[in-house]
C-alpha cells in the first residue's frame, strides 16, 4: 500500500505521554471543594444486617455525611442490570436479585459496601468509617459453586431455590447420547478453570459532581468506553442516560473488569446530590481484590467421543459458572462465549452443554480477557490432549485429523455459530515448524540430563471477536482549517494503543501522515452509538467504521472541491490529502476544503459488522524440577490469524501480554476463600502471585492471515487471543512433562507444591 505510513508502524503515538508520567488517570481528576468518600465494607461473607449505627461517625471531625442501605433503597438504586437475557432451560429466566448499591438487610460477600462515609479529607473519611457500627447476625457462608447447588445448601436469597439463578443448554442432547453410545472410545474429564482477578495496574476511582441546575451527574471514572457503563448506571439508578456525563483521560488497564458500572459509583451519586459537593473515591488494592468483578471460575465435566479412526463424534459438557453473590452485568460472557466456540476448531457433529449458574458468597463474577473464550478453549483442548494420551496418538496429529477443513468455511457449528474463515492446517504446520516440534525429543533428553522433566504443549484455538451489544458502531470525523482530522469514538483504550491504530486506519484511508489525525475517545456528553472496548471488538467495529468515515470524508470533500472549482464531483480526484482535477490547474488540500466550508467539516458514519473468528496455534515447552516441582517456561511460540494487521508491533504486544496473563493463571493466580467462613484468603499481592516479565521468556510470534470479509479492512480481533491460546498450551506442556512420572491430570494453578504433591502420588 503506497499510502502506508511506514514511519509510524510500530511506534505508538501515546507512549511518550504515558511513559513520561503525563497520563491522566481516574484518580488524577480533582475539582475545587471536593469531598472524599470511604466505604464501610462487610467483614462477613454472609450475614443479616441487624442495625447500622452512624451516630459516632457523623460526629467525627470533618465528616459531612454517612449513607447506608436505607439511603440506597430510598433513592431506588436497587436493581442492577444483567445481560443473561435469553430464555434458559425450559424457558427459565435469570433470577435477578435486588442489589441495593449499599447493602440493605443482608450482606452476601465479604467486602460488600455497607455504608459510605464522606468527609473533607480522605483520611478523615477513613477514620470515621471505623466508627460506623454494624450489628450482624452471621449466617453460614457457601463459597463452593458445586456445594451451593447441592440440596440443603444455605441460600443466598429465599427467592432463588437451590442458589440456581439460571440454567440453560445448547446443542442436541439426544444426538450426543446416541453418538457416545456408538463411540469406539470415550474420554471423560473434569476440568477446573480457576477463579482469578484481572488486577489492572490502575485501581478503580470515581469523582462524581452533581449539577442541581439540570439534575445531571458528571463522572471522572475509570472505564472501558462510555456507552456500556452509562447504560448500566442508568438502569441501576433510574437517572436518564443523558444526565450521566462522563469525562475521562487515560485508563491503566481494564481487561474487562473496568467495563461495568459498580455500586460504589451510584452510592457516590447519592452523596454528591445530598451534599451539593463533588465526592471522590479512590479504591485501595485490597478493595480491588474484594470488590472488582472476578473472572473465570468455571467447572466443566463431560465426555469426548471418538470413532475407531480417532475422529471426534460427540462432545458433552456439564458446565458450572460460579456467578458470585450477584449476577453482575458482565456475567453473560461466561455462557454466551462458551457456547459460541463449544467445539473449538474441530468438526464435531454432535455437541451439547448444560450450563448451571449458581450464586455463592463470593465477589461477583464478570468478564476477564476472553470472558468464557479462554475457558472453553482450555476445556476443549484438555479433552483433546487427554484423548491423545489415552489413544497413544500424537497430539498434533489428532488435532489435524479433526480440524474443520478449510473448504468447509463459512462453517456452522452444532451450537449455531457461523465461523467465517480459518486455516487451521496451515496455522498448525507453520507453528510446528516455528517450534521445531520434531526436534523435541532431543531437547527433552538434554533437559533429562540436567535433572529436569521437559514437556511440550500445544493449543489450537478459535474465538469470536467483533459484534457486541450495541446495534452499530458510530464515529464522527471532523476536518479543521489547519488540515487536522479528528476521529471521535465512544470506545476507550486501556493501554491498547488505539490512538495509534485507529489513527493509522484513518491516515491510511486519507493518504496522510498519522500526525495529522487526532483520536478523541469518549468526549463528554457524546451521543455516538457503539460498544465499549471489550470482546476484541474495537478494530473490527470501530476500526472498520473509522475507515468508512474517512472514505465518506473524501466524498464530502470532493463535493466541496467541485463547488470551489466549478466542476462536478465526478470530475474530482483525491489522493494523499489533495483534491485535483484534470479540468483545473488548482489543487485543493484538505485544509483548503475546511476553510472553504468556513466551518469545520464533519461526517457521522455508522456500521454493523458482526463476528469474525481469530484463531491460532501456540506451542510451548516447560521444564519441571524433579526435586521441587518448580516449573520454567523454556520455549514459547505462537502463530495467530487476526486477519489483516493494522500495527504489527501492537499486535505482537497484545498477544504477548495475553500469553503472560494466561501464564499467570496457569502457574499461580487463584482467588481462594475459606470454605467455612467465606473469608477471602488471597486479598493482596502477598498471597496472589501476579506473573512477572520473566515468566514467559522470549515470546516468538508469527502472523498468518486469512481474510475476513466481515470488515472492509479484513481485520479480526487479537486482544484476547494470547490468553485463549496460552492457558491450554502451557497446561498441555506441563502435563506432558509430568506424564513421564505418572501424572495424567492436574488442575490449575500448577504451583510447585501442587506439582510436587502429584509427583509423589504418581510414584
Residues that bind ligand MCN (CB under 6 A): 200, 253-256, 369, 494-498, 501, 533-539, 543, 642-647, 650-651, 654, 657, 715-720
Compute the least distance from the CB of residue 470 to ligand MCN, in Å.
13
Q: Do strands 578-581 and 584-589 pair parallel, antiparallel, or not at all (unpaired)?
A: antiparallel
Do 187 and 390 meet the contact criterion of CB atoms below 8 Å apart? Answer: yes
- Closer to ligand MCN by CB, 324 or 503: give it: 503
Q: How many CB atoms lie within 10 A of CB 290?
A: 20
Sign of CA dihedral 152, 156, 160, 165: negative
Compute the least distance from the CB of residue 202 to ligand MCN, in Å.
10
- Closer to ligand MCN by CB, 497 or 629: give it: 497
User: How far is the C-alpha of 605 from the C-alpha of 549, rounded, in Å?
Assistant: 5
User: How far is the C-alpha of 220 from the C-alpha of 210, rounded, in Å?
Assistant: 12
Compute the least distance from the CB of residue 611 to ligand MCN, in Å.
12
| Among the listed residues 603, 564, 645, 569, the one whose alpha carbon sits nearest the alpha carbon of residue 485 | 603
- Closer to ligand MCN by CB, 358 or 495: give it: 495
DSSP 224: S
- Closer to ligand MCN by CB, 506 or 646: give it: 646
DSSP 373: H
Do 285 and 684 meet the contact criterion of CB atoms below 8 Å apart? Answer: yes
Do 329 and 321 meet the contact criterion of CB atoms below 8 Å apart? Answer: no
Instruction: Name the residue whose CB lies closest to ligand MCN.
Output: 719
List, in order, residues 6 or more apart from 442 with CB less than 8 Å away: none
- Closer to ligand MCN by CB, 496 or 597: give it: 496
Q: Do strands 485-489 and 517-521 pair parallel, antiparallel, or not at all (unpaired)?
A: parallel
Compute the least distance from the CB of residue 332 to ligand MCN, in Å.
14
The cell numbers describing 470, all together, are: 450495541
Compute the least distance from the CB of residue 463 to ligand MCN, in Å.
10
Compute the least distance from the CB of residue 18 to ligand MCN, in Å.
10
Is the preceding omega at residue 749 within 30 degrees of 0, hence cis?
yes
Do 455 and 621 meet the contact criterion of CB atoms below 8 Å apart? Answer: yes
Compute the least distance from the CB of residue 427 to ligand MCN, in Å.
15
- Closer to ligand MCN by CB, 317 or 718: give it: 718
- Closer to ligand MCN by CB, 351 or 493: give it: 493
- Closer to ligand MCN by CB, 248 or 447: give it: 248
- Closer to ligand MCN by CB, 511 or 643: give it: 643
Compute the least distance from the CB of residue 493 to ligand MCN, in Å.
7
Q: Quick one: CA torsion of 268, 271, 274, 275, rounded to 10 degrees?
A: -110
Do 395 and 732 meet the contact criterion of CB atoms below 8 Å apart? Answer: yes
User: How far is the C-alpha of 92 from the C-alpha of 349, rounded, in Å?
Assistant: 27
DSSP 243: G
Compute the least distance from the CB of residue 310 to ligand MCN, in Å.
34
Residue 720 phi, psi (nearest 5): -110, -10
Compute the least distance from the CB of residue 648 to ligand MCN, in Å.
7
- Closer to ligand MCN by CB, 597 or 716: give it: 716
Alpha-carbon Rg for the chain in angstroms? 27
Amino acid at each position: 500500500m503506497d499510502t502506508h505510513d511506514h514511519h509510524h508502524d510500530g511506534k505508538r503515538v501515546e507512549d511518550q505521554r504515558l511513559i513520561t508520567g503525563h497520563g491522566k488517570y481516574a484518580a488524577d481528576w480533582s475539582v475545587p471543594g471536593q469531598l472524599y468518600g470511604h466505604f464501610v465494607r462487610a467483614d462477613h461473607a454472609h450475614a443479616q444486617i441487624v442495625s447500622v449505627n452512624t451516630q459516632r461517625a457523623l460526629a467525627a471531625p470533618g465528616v459531612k455525611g454517612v449513607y447506608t442501605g436505607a439511603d440506597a433503597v430510598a433513592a431506588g438504586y436497587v436493581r442492577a442490570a444483567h445481560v443473561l437475557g435469553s430464555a434458559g432451560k425450559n424457558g427459565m429466566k435469570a433470577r435477578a436479585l435486588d442489589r441495593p448499591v449499599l447493602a440493605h438487610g443482608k450482606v452476601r460477600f465479604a467486602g460488600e459496601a455497607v455504608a459510605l462515609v464522606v468527609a473533607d479529607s480522605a483520611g478523615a473519611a477513613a477514620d470515621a468509617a471505623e466508627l460506623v457500627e454494624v450489628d450482624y447476625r452471621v449466617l453460614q457462608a457457601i463459597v463452593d459453586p458445586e456445594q451451593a447447588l447441592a440440596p440443603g445448601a444455605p441460600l443466598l436469597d429465599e427467592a432463588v431455590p437451590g442458589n440456581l439463578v439460571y440454567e440453560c443448554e445448547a446443542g442436541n442432547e439426544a444426538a450426543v447420547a446416541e453418538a457416545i453410545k456408538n463411540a469406539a472410545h470415550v474420554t471423560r474429564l473434569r476440568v477446573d478453570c480457576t477463579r482469578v482477578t484481572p488486577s489492572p495496574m490502575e485501581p478503580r476511582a470515581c469523582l462524581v459532581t452533581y449539577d442541581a441546575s439540570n439534575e445531571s451527574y458528571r463522572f471522572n471514572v475509570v472505564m472501558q468506553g462510555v456507552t456500556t457503563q452509562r447504560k448500566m448506571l442508568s438502569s441501576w439508578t433510574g437517572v436518564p442516560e443523558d444526565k450521566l456525563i462522563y469525562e475521562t483521560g487515560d485508563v491503566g488497564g481494564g481487561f474487562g473488569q473496568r467495563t461495568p458500572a459498580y455500586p460504589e459509583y451510584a452510592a457516590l451519586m447519592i452523596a454528591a446530590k445530598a451534599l451539593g459537593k463533588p465526592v471522590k473515591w479512590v479504591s485501595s488494592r485490597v478493595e480491588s481484590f474484594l470488590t472488582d468483578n472476578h473472572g473465570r471460575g468455571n467447572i466443566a465435566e463431560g465426555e469426548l467421543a471418538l470413532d475407531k479412526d480417532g475422529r471426534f463424534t460427540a462432545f458433552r459438557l456439564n458446565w458450572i459458572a460460579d456467578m458470585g453473590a450477584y449476577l453482575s452485568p458482565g456475567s453473560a460472557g461466561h455462557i454466551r462465549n462458551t457456547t459460541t466456540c463449544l467445539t473449538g476448531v474441530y468438526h464435531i457433529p454432535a455437541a451439547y452443554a448444560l450450563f448451571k449458574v449458581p450464586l455463592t458468597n463470593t465477589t461477583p463474577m464478570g468478564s476477564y480477557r476472553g470472558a468464557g473464550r479462554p475457558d472453553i478453549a482450555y476445556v476443549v483442548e484438555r479433552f483433546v490432549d487427554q484423548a491423545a494420551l489415552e489413544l497413544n496418538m500424537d497430539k498434533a496429529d489428532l488435532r489435524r485429523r479433526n480440524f474443520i477443513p478449510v473448504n468447509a468455511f463459512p462453517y456452522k457449528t452444532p451450537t449455531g455459530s457461523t465461523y467465517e474463515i480459518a486455516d487451521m492446517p496451515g496455522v498448525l504446520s507453520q507453528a510446528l515448524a516455528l517450534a521445531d516440534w520434531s526436534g523435541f525429543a532431543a531437547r527433552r533428553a538434554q533437559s533429562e540430563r540436567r535433572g529436569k522433566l521437559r514437556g511440550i504443549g500445544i493449543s489450537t484455538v478459535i474465538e469470536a471477536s467483533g459484534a457486541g451489544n450495541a446495534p452499530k458502531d458510530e464515529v464522527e470525523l471532523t476536518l479543521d482549517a489547519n488540515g487536522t482530522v479528528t476521529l471521535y469514538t465512544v470506545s476507550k483504550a486501556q493501554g491498547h494503543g488505539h490512538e495509534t491504530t485507529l489513527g493509522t486506519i484513518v491516515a491510511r484511508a486519507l493518504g496522510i501522515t498519522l500526525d495529522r489525525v487526532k483520536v478523541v475517545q469518549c468526549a463528554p456528553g457524546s451521543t455516538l452509538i457503539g460498544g465499549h472496548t471489550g470482546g476484541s471488538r474495537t478494530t473490527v467495529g470501530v476500526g472498520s467504521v473509522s475507515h468508512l468515515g474517512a472514505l465518506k470524508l473524501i466524498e464530502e470533500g470532493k463535493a466541496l472541491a467541485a463547488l470551489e472549482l466549478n466542476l462536478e464531483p465526478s470530475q474530482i480526484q483525491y489522493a494523499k490529502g489533495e483534491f485535483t482535477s484534470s479540468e483545473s490547474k488548482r489543487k485543493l488540500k484538505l485544509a483548503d476544503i475546511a476553510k472553504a466550508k468556513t466551518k469545520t467539516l464533519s461526517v457521522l458514519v455508522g456500521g454493523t459488522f458482526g463476528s469474525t473468528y481469530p484463531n491460532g496455534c501456540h506451542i510451548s515447552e516447560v521444564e519441571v524440577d524433579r526435586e521441587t516441582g518448580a516449573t520454567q517456561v523454556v520455549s514459547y511460540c505462537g502463530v495467530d490469524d487476526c486477519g489483516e494487521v493494522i500495527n504489527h508491533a501492537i499486535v505482537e504486544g497484545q498477544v504477548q501480554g495475553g500469553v503472560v496473563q494466561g501464564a499467570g493463571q496457569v502457574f499461580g493466580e487463584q482467588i481462594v476463600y475459606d470454605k467455612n467462613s467465606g473469608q477471602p484468603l488471597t486479598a493482596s499481592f502477598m498471597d496472589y502471585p501476579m506473573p512477572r516479565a520473566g515468566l514467559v521468556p522470549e515470546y516468538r510470534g508469527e502472523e498468518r492471515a486469512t481474510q475476513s470479509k466481515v470488515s472492509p479492512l479484513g481485520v479480526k480481533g487479537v486482544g484476547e487471543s494470547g490468553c485463549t491460546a496460552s492457558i491450554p498450551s502451557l497446561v498441555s506442556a506441563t502435563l506432558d512433562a509430568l506424564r513421564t512420572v505418572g501424572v495424567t491430570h492436574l488442575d490449575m494453578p500448577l504451583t510447585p507444591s501442587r506439582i510436587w504433591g502429584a509427583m509423589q502420588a504418581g510414584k
